[in-house]
Amino acid sequence: MKVIKLSKLLSEDLVLRDSADNLFDAIEKTPESTVKIDFKGISSITMSFAHQYTTRKEISKKQITEANMPANVKRLFEAVKVPIQRFRPIYANSIRPIPV
């Protein structure tokens, strides 16, 4: 099993989508089939990094697990999994005038 410490490989602050891509490019090149991502020392993460990490993890051929993930980072990963409803269509038939 390969262990990757994110704070040493990337930074304590995980910000860019490109950083997530670089991480997964490195993961895909490793000969090990199982990879553990160690989040110890990570202080912040952006929605962009979390989304790209999640996307790349889903399509990876490696078995990837996480360890030492701080609560704030875990909450952001959970938020990324929930689809955002950007708009709710308004149908003309459902609009009724309000008497004033």
User: What pTM does this model have?
Assistant: 0.79
Which helix or strand (DSSP H or E) is residue 68 part of? none
For the segment 15-73, what is each residue's pLDDT rounded down to a tens digit?
A: 999 999 999 999 999 999 999 999 999 999 999 999 999 999 999 999 999 999 999 99
What is the pLDDT at residue 80? Answer: 85
96 CB neighbour count, 10 Å cutoff: 6
What is the pLDDT at residue 82? Answer: 77
Alpha helix locations (H) across the chain?
6-9, 17-29, 47-59, 71-81
Residue 11 identity (one-letter amino acid): S
Instruction: Using DSSP, state whether 44 is helix, strand or coil.
Output: strand
